[in-house]
Structure 1
Amino acid sequence: MLSLDVIIFAGFICIYLLIVFICRPKHNKIEVYDRENGKFSTAKIVTTMVLGWTGSGFLALFATETLKNGLHFILPNIGPALTFILAGTFISPRISEFIGKSSIADVAHDIWGVRIAFIIALCYIFLSIAILTIQIQYVSKIFEYFSIPSWYALIMSGLVLTIYCIIANKKTAIFSDIIQFISFSCFIPIIYFVIWQALSNSKIMWEIVKNHPNFDLNQVFNLSTPQTYRMLGIFGLIMIPRLGPFVFQNISMSRNAKQSALAFKISGLIILSLQVSIVALALLAISQNPNFNPQDAVLYFLNNYTSYGFDIILTTGTIVIATSVASFLINTSAHMLIQNILEPITLKKIHNQRLVLVYFTITASIISTYFNLRFENISLLALCFFSIYTTIVSIPVLFAIFGFRSSELSVLIGMGASIISMVIYQWKFVIPGLSFFIPGMLANTILLSAAIMS
């Protein structure tokens, strides 16, 4: 027999999708973020970036991997928050010419031309699919909370995200924003409660930190183990601004460089505080139950730190946040697919953009669901996509942002050399602890530097 919680949750999802369907767009164009004449407030940009990070499943992934790998995961993965702060300090003052651009591929098109924009759009699409893969796993945990088997939960989460992305438009954003605000209003007090509980159990937690191998600083920084070098390599990778979906979203929405810098810094501090809270939650969970499965971190949090009613608000709010972020990723990716890939190839203007969006959404969802069913370690798979994006896309764009412009041919050679270096290294010269993206990044950086100096 179905419980009241399941009925309320299922009813909300059905009503939510019905409202979105009623408000579905009646035209054939894809709606992406535009500047709205610079009317976005700093608070709106910050909220969008933070919800983008949490709604992508990174917060849940951070909790799971913290419990599984301890400091080996925590130390490098505070990088996203620090990257936002560094981006606000060093990148935002230099992006005035990019303010208002709809995508990073548009920037590449203006600087280097069609071919570079084609490659960058392709990398962006792969990165978006990787993020969607994390999202589907994250949302599936919400379905599992209502006693739905994991395999069916993955299929259902992929289906919900697919349906929303196909029928959503800007009119539904107001409704989504209200639910997201209510959810976060409930989430923040729970986080403070967790921190308070963690402080009240500080002695027990300190004993765990001292005795648990995953939190032993001597083992974490043991230079004789490959895991330490891998951790340092990942930290270096994450500290390089990827200029991915959520970073460029800031640039698209900001009215000027000053607003962009402020939004980056505030977002970084909020994300850092959320990460610290998750670490406290992880330590508290280990102190209460040292043997529980890290893969059940989301379920453990919902079962132990939410009361009746709050769990419904948080779970439904999580679905809304996840669908909104998925829609943003799918829309921007489909926009790039049309503008920077299909139209240059076919040499024709695509008028029925919604049809392309539908096909792309279904394809991306099938691929992401397959990845979840096929691979156990989704975080490793996502890291590969992030590494490739940073190596191929971020390096030349960062050079351009800092004023070091090079020709289209130089960028193409650098991208090609980075791909060849990564393939050869992974095929023939794998060194324990040295990730494959490092040779690729070095190759791209060296060739671009040589081209600029010549």
Structure 2
Amino acid sequence: MFLNIDKLIFLFFLVVIMITGLFYGRKIYSTKEYALGGRNFSTSTIVTTLIATWISSRFFLHDFYHIYPENILFTLSGIFGDLLSWLVICYIIAPRMGEFLGSLSIADSMGKIYGNKVRFLIAIISSTTCICKIAIQFKLSAIILQLFFENSSFYTALASSIVIITYSSLGGIKATTFTDVIQLKIAIFWVIIPIIIFFIWHSSLESQIAFFQFSEKSIFDYQQFVNSDYSQLWVSFTIFLYFIIPTFSPATFQKITIAKNTLQVADSFFFASFTRLLISITFLGILFLFLASKPDLEFTSNIISYVIDNDLYIGLKGIIACGIIAMIMSNTDSYLNAATIIFSYDLRKSLGLKALKRNLIFTYFCAFSIGIFALVMAFQITDIWQLILLVNSFYIPLVTTPFLLTVFGFRSNYKSIIAGMIISFITIIIGHLQNDSILDIILYGILVNLVMIVLIHYLLNMTKGFVGVKDNRHLQYLKNYRQRRFIFFKQLISNFNFLNFCQANSPKDEVTYTIFGVFSSCFIIITIYTIPLNIKNEYLTIHKILYDLVFILSGIFLTYQMWLPGLKNKNFIAILWLFGLFYSLVFISCLQVIISDCDQLTTIIFIINLTLVAILAHWQLAIFIIITGVICSIEFYKFFVCNHLQQQCTININIIYIITLIIAIIISFLRPKQRQLIIANLARKFLNEKIQHRNEELQKLYELKNELIRNLNHEIHTPVTGIVSLGHSLLVSYDILTEQQRLSVIKDIAVSSDRLESLVNNLLDLSKLTSLSYILNIEKINLAKLIYERINIIKKLYPEKGRKPIFLIDVTPVYIYGDHYYIRQAIDNILSNAIIYGKGKPISITLEYSEDTALITIYDQGIGIPKNEIYDIFGVFNVSSRTKTPAGGRGVGLALCKKVVEVHGGKIKVENNLDGGATFSIALPLRHF
């Protein structure tokens, strides 16, 4: 095999992946760590590994390879069905999976509930599925590398397979996960971006026109779906049903079980869903545009061959090969790791074999054996897509179905699970013998297994059944969150006031109106003098009417600052401001681009105006104004000026390019900036309130200090002098004094002592904040609403390592009577402590009530409180030994909480949790006290 630049690049890529995998996979000491990696992965890492696993397993083999030649609707059915399956996991399934997190595999999670017999069957099916998927990926890599390196493809494919087997076998889930991150970055920067640049470089007006011609081909013809027998429509529907089912493949389940909690699972699938949708649409759009310019090419393999042979020069070919193989490797190592755990742990445990002393070495041996076996199997595969469907036709009905039943709270005896699996297996075999469609076989197998498990359970009168979710904290939180969002949007719609909306989105200072008026005037003057004379004469009426309105608006904004106070109206200028953004900056500017046939200067002015809209308005409002303004401008031109706009495809495409660019800028740059500004304003308001509260406390303490100093001579000197002088006199004259005289002196000393003790007690009371005079402003408080408000603010003000803290909220609407300001201070102090010392773990908050008491419970999983300090934690200037810092601490936060609760007639207590952290409970009376 002779080396060239492309092969050297590919070999360098393999070396980097090998080193990365072995580096991140070191220091593994147990099978659990090999499978779960400590479960301390970030959400972005899980999102990346989900995308990396999907981009090879389904995107390459389905979206980009198989269905396209049939019909475009088949492809879209698969894409959107797959997208919805992940959204189903995000919103419906993930909140119910709390008890399954931390399981080593899907066989392990089912075995814990139904026993070793069910574990054994699922382990056999899962391991077979994994081996076939690994072999398929090895075969796919060989096919791709054959296109790039021709005669040397065997050696490059063998080298890439050995690299995958080595780092995945020795590194476990850590190596698999972190190499997925590297592989996805390589796929994006070495494949996706070069292809997009290649497409843009070769795009032209001819290719755009060709795309419109290409879109009229039969694959885009929707009428063929409504033929007499609706056969193709049924095929599309079955494809959609197949992809919408969450398969929970062994590799996907592993990405779920390594998460910290179900909220992280839901977030990961949510972000991954729309990322994969963007990737799919991008690739398919490029594919269709490329095929439009090359009508002789019909299949993806021909496209790849054509691009490699005609458009890739030396060096770029190796880079593209690395990117594609990176996508394939990210799927292969996931299935190899899952298969290893199933063989080394689940099969051993289900057969009743004891754990080996060197169990990790046995795990390594299983991993290498599975990888080598799959590599040998890969050279025997002839039809990749049919093998995928064949494997899934057994896995989805036999494993996914009972697992989903279990997730939704169904519990039964192992006998009903095994019986349903056997009957479903027989149904699948019969379907294959009759040469039924694989998609039909899968759907029938699912239905049979589902019905038989439930039917056998209730016919044999087995215990349990649908018992619900075991760990429902996150599920309850999600229900409350959805209910709260529904109420919020309902109130938002019912309480919407257009005038308030306009005022909220208008400038706070009048100078901005003047500057905007100057800009609008300059813009319209420049536009008028740069339009060619023939266009002016052709559209003279439009220019006169529409441009006059721009001048009127500009004049109003320009002179508004000089209007008499009696003439100024905030509602009027706020409405006019939003109309001016819409009309002057978007509508007129876009219309000018259309009329001038995308003249360079008018296009530049259009881009500047859209950018100005994004700066002057909130990003959501800016996007709405831009889109509606452009649509209105186009429709106005078509209706009043010319009805042949559809022939000017260049104008349409250019405007779409510009709008897409501006919206991308708004979302990517201005949205985070505006969000940071809102958070900064909230923080400023929050800190100002705290400063005001501290100033009030300092003022009271200052007054107390002055009073103490003023009375110091009388309150301290007098009793001390009495005690000292009388005591000295008694000592000197004791023998000459009568009993009655001695008793009188002792009585005077006692009186002075009592007076001094009273003063000391007052000072102690001062140190306990009891000397602060709390003046309560009693009002009716919606406690549930107050908790939600404080959480929304607190979690923005106390980000934990760059991300928002997680709150699990279960509150019941409760009203109490008290001081809103001080109750809020107490809640803020406890929440901030829970975040600061909570180790980034979820914080549970509940609110419930009895006949006369509202009970707030705040549960964290942080560092807790030492037992010998738990009774003193509410004392003034007392700081837990676990939270002390070299800078010291004031220790008044919890003391203030206690004082606030007590003056409201309530009680506060704290307890350590058995699993770490602490639980604060606040009981407040419901009555008006």
Alignment correspondent of 2:365? 355
Alignment correspondent of 2:276? 271
- 1:61-98 CA deviation, whole Å, 9 max, x = no partner? 52122443332540332122221112101101111111
- 1:355-394 CA deviation, whole Å, 9 max, x = no partner? 22222221122223322xxx2x311210121222111111
Residue 276 to residue 265, structure 1, CA distance change in 2 (3 Å): same
Instruction: Look up the equivalent residue of 1:247 and give its one-letter code.
Output: T
Deviates more, 1:132-141 or 1:178-187: 178-187
Deviates more, 1:74-83 or 1:400-409: 74-83
Alignment correspondent of 1:345? 351
Deviates more, 1:283-292 or 1:150-159: 150-159
**8 Å CA contact 2:22, 2:170 repeated in 1:** yes
Instruction: Look up the equivalent residue of 1:273 and give its one-letter code.
Output: L
Distance 2:20 2:274 in 1: 35
Give the counterpart of 1:397 among 403, 422, 444: 403
Structure 1 residue 256: Cα displacement: 1.5
Alignment correspondent of 1:315? 321
Instruction: Look up the equivalent residue of 2:373 and give its one-letter code.
Output: T
Give the counterpart of 1:121 among 120, 123, 130: 123
Alignment correspondent of 1:219? 224
Give the counterpart of 1:208 among 209, 214, 220: 214
**8 Å CA contact 2:397, 2:424 repeated in 1:** yes
Alignment correspondent of 2:335? 329
- 1:290-346 CA deviation, whole Å, 9 max, x = no partner? 233422444455667767655434432443453343223212211111222134336
Alignment correspondent of 1:44? 45
Distance 1:142 1:391 in 2: 32
Deviates more, 1:63-72 or 1:252-261: 63-72
Residue 290 to residue 126, structure 1, CA distance change in 2 (3 Å): farther
Structure 1 residue 222: Cα displacement: 4.1
Structure 1 residue 241: Cα displacement: 0.8
Structure 1 residue 130: Cα displacement: 3.1
Distance 2:301 2:128 in 1: 25
Alignment correspondent of 1:424? 430
Alignment correspondent of 1:13? 14
Distance 2:144 2:339 in 1: 26
Distance 1:68 1:446 in 2: 36
Query: Residues 54-133 of structure 1: matches in 2 within 5 Å?
Result: 54-56=55-57, 58-59=59-60, 61-71=62-72, 73-78=74-79, 79-133=81-135
Distance 1:4 1:380 in 2: 36
Alignment correspondent of 2:390? 384
Residue 315 to residue 345, structure 1, CA distance change in 2 (3 Å): same
Query: Residues 415-454 of structure 1: matches in 2 within 5 Å?
Result: 415-428=421-434, 430=435, 435-454=440-459
Distance 1:171 1:419 in 2: 35
Distance 2:142 2:334 in 1: 19
Residue 343 to residue 287, structure 1, CA distance change in 2 (3 Å): same
Structure 1 residue 224: Cα displacement: 2.7
Unaligned runs of 5+ in 2: 460-929
Is the counterpart of residue 368 in structure 1 residue 378 in structure 2? yes
Question: Does the residue aligned with 2:370 lie in a helix, a strand or coil?
Answer: helix
Give the counterpart of 1:144 among 143, 146, 161: 146
Alignment correspondent of 1:286? 291
Distance 2:284 2:432 in 1: 33
**8 Å CA contact 1:58, 1:134 repeated in 2:** no
Is the counterpart of residue 254 in structure 1 residue 259 in structure 2? yes
Residue 202 to residue 182, structure 1, CA distance change in 2 (3 Å): same
**8 Å CA contact 1:124, 1:389 repeated in 2:** yes
Distance 1:249 1:388 in 2: 20
Structure 1 residue 395: Cα displacement: 0.8
**8 Å CA contact 1:32, 1:328 repeated in 2:** no
**8 Å CA contact 2:421, 2:449 repeated in 1:** yes
Residue 381 to residue 214, structure 1, CA distance change in 2 (3 Å): farther
Aligned residues: 447
**8 Å CA contact 1:62, 1:275 repeated in 2:** yes
Structure 1 residue 2: Cα displacement: 4.4
Alignment correspondent of 2:679? none
Distance 2:380 2:159 in 1: 13
Deviates more, 1:25-34 or 1:201-210: 25-34
Question: Over the residues paired in the alignment, what is the CA RMSD in angstroms?
Answer: 3.4
**8 Å CA contact 1:60, 1:298 repeated in 2:** no
Residue 88 to residue 246, structure 1, CA distance change in 2 (3 Å): farther
Instruction: Look up the equivalent residue of 2:150 and give its one-letter code.
Output: I
- 1:407-448 CA deviation, whole Å, 9 max, x = no partner? 2111111101111112223324x5569722232222111112
Query: Residues 176-187 of structure 1: matches in 2 within 5 Å?
Result: 177-178=181-182, 180-187=184-191
Structure 1 residue 33: Cα displacement: 3.9
Residue 424 to residue 306, structure 1, CA distance change in 2 (3 Å): same
Is the counterpart of residue 231 in structure 1 residue 233 in structure 2? no
Structure 1 residue 127: Cα displacement: 2.1
Question: Does the residue aligned with 2:411 lie in a helix, a strand or coil?
Answer: coil
Is the counterpart of residue 242 in structure 1 residue 244 in structure 2? no
Instruction: Look up the equivalent residue of 1:425 and give its one-letter code.
Output: G
Structure 1 residue 288: Cα displacement: 2.2
Question: Does the residue aligned with 1:69 lie in a helix, a strand or coil?
Answer: coil
**8 Å CA contact 1:155, 1:369 repeated in 2:** no
Question: Does the residue aligned with 1:435 lie in a helix, a strand or coil?
Answer: helix
Residue 50 to residue 65, structure 1, CA distance change in 2 (3 Å): same
**8 Å CA contact 1:230, 1:433 repeated in 2:** no
Alignment correspondent of 2:846? none
Structure 1 residue 195: Cα displacement: 7.3
Distance 1:222 1:443 in 2: 31
Instruction: Look up the equivalent residue of 1:283 and give its one-letter code.
Output: F
Instruction: Look up the equivalent residue of 1:76 and give its one-letter code.
Output: S
- 1:11-41 CA deviation, whole Å, 9 max, x = no partner? 44356547767998698965634262x5322
- State the TM-score, normalized to the length of structure 1: 0.85
Distance 1:370 1:203 in 2: 45
Alignment correspondent of 2:609? none
Residue 188 to residue 28, structure 1, CA distance change in 2 (3 Å): same
Higher helix proportion: 1
Structure 1 residue 239: Cα displacement: 0.9
Instruction: Look up the equivalent residue of 2:213 and give its one-letter code.
Output: E
**8 Å CA contact 1:229, 1:433 repeated in 2:** no
**8 Å CA contact 1:143, 1:157 repeated in 2:** no
**8 Å CA contact 1:42, 1:263 repeated in 2:** yes
Distance 1:407 1:192 in 2: 54
Instruction: Look up the equivalent residue of 2:132 and give its one-letter code.
Output: A
Question: Does the residue aligned with 1:85 lie in a helix, a strand or coil?
Answer: helix
The structure with higher relative contact order (CA 8 Å, sep 6+) is: 1
Higher strand proportion: 2
Q: In terms of Rg, which structure is larger? A: 2
